[in-house]
Amino acid sequence: MTAALANAGSPDTTPRETPPMAVEMHGIVKRFPGVVANDGIDLLVERGEVHALLGENGAGKSTLMNILFGLYHQDEGEVRIAGQPVRFHGPRDAVNAGLGMVHQHFMLIPRFTVTENVILGMEGPGALRLDRQSAERRVAELGEAYGLRVDPRARIADLPVGMQQRVEILRALYQGGRTLILDEPTALLTPQEVEELYLILRRLTDAGGTIIFITHKLREVAAVSDRVTVIRRGKTVGTRQTADTTARELAELMVGREILLRVNRSLARPGEPILIADNLTVQNANGLALDRLSLNVRQGEIVGIAGVEGNGQTELVEALAGLRHPDQGKILLKGKDITGADPHQVRIAGLSYIPEDRHGRGLVLDFSLTENVLLGNADDAPFSRHGRIDYSAAETITRQVMTEFDVRAPSPATPASSLSGGNQQKLVIGRELQREPDFLLAVQPTRGLDVGAVEFVHRQLVAERDQGRCVLLISFDLDEILDLSDRILVMFNGRIAGEYESGRVDRAELGFCMGGRTDEESTLVA
């Protein structure tokens, strides 16, 4: 098993012509209903390199890798492994072809030991008897060979995240993986663990292995990759030698350079600050999620928060919505201190909140539309009095929401689960806006929606602003931020890393700031 990598990287004995690429993907197209996730992507990965796949959230990286790993099948295009055209019917085929995938969220069984996890699904033909000792020995050998030192007998639940990731890598190697796909492997790691991961990847490629490294962080591209392919909106926009490119160029490639078209949006006339967050600090398991963050949103403006996922946006939203008690700092809504208030109190103080996850949070799918309109409002007039819900009032309001926000459903009694995603989102937005909030917190409000629904939602947000309300928009879609915001704040590492006025933003500059870079002209490789 240790020999797996060596095999792959040992054409040394024969005089080399042009060795085939480890992975070739040509003209990959993958359509989902309403979305073209991949629109003719080319990706060429040479043997023995670390190839970074760079792109914003939603650019199509994950879809592409899922196609490569046999989880999806492309609508058009061709995949070749080591020069041979392949057609995978599932991950097992991909594994047999020498691919291995390390998912962002580990697929390990916490109660099992390292060895048990590594050999899962590969227990061998004698299924009744598990040769634990020799399996453990092989896992240890494999770990030794690539610097993936981890105790084969430790239980996964007892290991830190960095170690768990090593187990994932070990498993891919054990299964004969010669080309490993790492999906945002640093997302959950501490800086030290990241450094160790880089070393491991180097060893793997030195031994002839190939790495595809999915990321949206420029720093990582610089630190670990030999070459980088940039994807934007489902298309390949370029492949570069990492040594020959600059952070600025990559940022431009990643976020695009075109001038925005501003539609139907007048200039903001901001008034008094409505929402003030002062020195918010939130600690979570991985350290400081929010680091003395301050911001304010004024009446009649849309403030957009740009940033790569995982830079504290979740914690900020939860703190503002009353779902999380900040460790330090203050939140004022219309001058009223709402720090530490529960979600219902915050709503009464004037917040409406469009959550990112409409299925898990914004809606109860088994409830009717009326019952969903009650969500968060059930205790307040006119929806209830003395603990008794007035369903006819609720239904009247539901009908209004359905008309005003174009929620297409047969009746208010329809279960929310039977609506399309766009109509579900319109229901959530309608419910939140019919309360005429002072402050609207909109998190990824158009996620997963088709173009028509996106436009509708955007128009609603601008209309709210024009009525003198204030809107805080948090989105990982830079175009959405740029289209809608009067002011743009960039979040990085739990802080506001930059502030830009609408219309005076250079996309590349923004992408650059999102990547955590400030010295913009330096090349990537120091």
Name the residues that contact another protein, by CB under 8 A. Answer: 31-35, 37, 58, 63, 66, 71-73, 313-315, 317-318, 321-324, 342-347, 353, 355-357, 359-367, 371, 374-376, 378-379, 384, 387-389, 391, 408-411, 414-415, 417-421, 443-444, 447-448, 450, 474
| In the complex, minimum distance from the CB of residue 13 to another protein, in angstroms, rounded to a whole number | 41
**Closest CB to another protein among residues 384, 493:** 384
| Gyration radius of the chain over CA positions | 25
Whole-number Å distance between alpha carbons of 116 and 152 = 8
**Closest CB to another protein among residues 35, 237:** 35
| In the complex, minimum distance from the CB of residue 81 to another protein, in angstroms, rounded to a whole number | 20
Whole-number Å distance between alpha carbons of 258 and 244 = 24
**Closest CB to another protein among residues 48, 304:** 304
**Closest CB to another protein among residues 48, 326:** 326
Whole-number Å distance between alpha carbons of 200 and 215 = 17
By the 8 A CB rule, do 238 and 229 touch? yes
| In the complex, minimum distance from the CB of residue 439 to another protein, in angstroms, rounded to a whole number | 16
Beta strands, E only, 34-144: 35-45, 50-54, 76-81, 84-86, 99-102
**Closest CB to another protein among residues 265, 435:** 435
By the 8 A CB rule, do 378 and 384 touch? yes
> What are the tokens at 194?
């990241």
SS3 264: coil
> What are the tokens at 442?
């909109």
| In the complex, minimum distance from the CB of residue 471 to another protein, in angstroms, rounded to a whole number | 16
| In the complex, minimum distance from the CB of residue 344 to another protein, in angstroms, rounded to a whole number | 3
Whole-number Å distance between alpha carbons of 244 and 230 = 14
H helices of 15-113, where? Answer: 61-68, 91-96
**Closest CB to another protein among residues 251, 290:** 290
**Closest CB to another protein among residues 204, 317:** 317
**Closest CB to another protein among residues 279, 418:** 418
Whole-Å CA distances, 343 to 28, 302, 351, 352:
45, 22, 9, 10
| In the complex, minimum distance from the CB of residue 504 to another protein, in angstroms, rounded to a whole number | 28
| In the complex, minimum distance from the CB of residue 325 to another protein, in angstroms, rounded to a whole number | 13
- Dihedral of CA atoms 35, 38, 39, 42 in degrees, nearest 10, equals 180
Whole-number Å distance between alpha carbons of 170 and 138 = 10
> What are the tokens at 415?
């279960």
| In the complex, minimum distance from the CB of residue 58 to another protein, in angstroms, rounded to a whole number | 6
φ and ψ of 46, to 5 deg? -80, 160
Whole-Å CA distances, 257 to 204, 417, 514:
36, 40, 15
| In the complex, minimum distance from the CB of residue 372 to another protein, in angstroms, rounded to a whole number | 9
Beta strands, E only, 373-494: 384-385, 388-389, 439-443, 470-474, 487-492
Whole-number Å distance between alpha carbons of 23 and 79 = 7
**Closest CB to another protein among residues 8, 443:** 443
**Closest CB to another protein among residues 37, 118:** 37
For β-strands 50-54 and 210-215, DSSP reports them as parallel
| In the complex, minimum distance from the CB of residue 67 to another protein, in angstroms, rounded to a whole number | 9
